[in-house]
Amino acid sequence: MFKFKNTPQTSLNRGEIRPSFWSSSPLLIGVVVFLSILFCQIKTANAQVIDSMYYGWVVYEYQENLQDDSDKKCYIVSTPHKTNTSYTAARNPYFSITRYAQTRSEEVSAYAGYEYKINSEVSLLIGDKQKQLYTKDEAAWAKNDYEDKEIITLMLSSDYLKVRSDSSTGNYAIDEYEMKGLTRAYARMKELCR
């Protein structure tokens, strides 16, 4: 039989169970459980949380540091209920409004699910009004805060929003969003990020 040098040898009778390290130290078990719970809370502290949903509009809350509200932001997101596109690959378009708690500013953004054509603009048809967003890679935004406010105001008083965009590969997409539920989702977002 092989034996390690300077290793104490203990013998157990058949059926006898050696007490484990964990059962001999309840304090250690408590510390491990506490650290596990703490680690899980830290890991999820900077995750986005779904707060509520109003028809097709989902309200999210995001805060990186739970001790400091300065980085808190809330946003509402919707996916199109109707789409017309020449783009053949799978895509996940969505439209969002983000509110930053610290500055109380809001911005609109559109994502077509593909990279936009360089130097192109995304056309919005909100009710009977037309607006433009500028593009960069896979996102599109209003040109300034005034445009953001104007687009949001139009959306709140309209029944639908159509977003037309061109991809970097020469395809197009027209995504149509319903505004049903937007007013309540928008109010909830503002309440979360005062």
Query: For tokens 């459980």, what's the residue?
Result: 33
Which SS3 state, helix, strand or coil, does residue 45 take? helix
Domain ranges of the chain: 48-192
Name the architecture of domain 48-192.
Answer: Sandwich (2.60)
The amino acid present at 37, given as its one-letter code, is I
For the entire predicted model, the pTM comes to 0.74
| CA separation for the pair 109, 127 (Å, rounded) | 18
Helix axes 182-192, 145-156, angle to 10 degrees: 130
Count CB-CB contacts under 10 A for residue 61.
Answer: 18
Confidence band of 71 (pLDDT split at 50, 70, 90): confident
CB 167 within 8 A of CB 117: yes
CA separation for the pair 189, 172 (Å, rounded): 31
- pLDDT, tens digit, 9 for 90 and up, residues 102-137: 899 999 999 999 999 999 999 999 999 999 999 999
Q: Which of 191, 186, 167, 165 is nearest to 78 (CA)?
A: 186
Confidence bin at 89 (pLDDT 50/70/90): confident
User: pLDDT, tens digit, for every residue of 4-35?
Assistant: 455 455 554 555 555 444 444 554 444 444 44
Q: Where are the alpha helices (DSSP H) in 46-181?
A: 145-156
Give the C-alpha separation, 99 to 72, whole Å.
Answer: 9
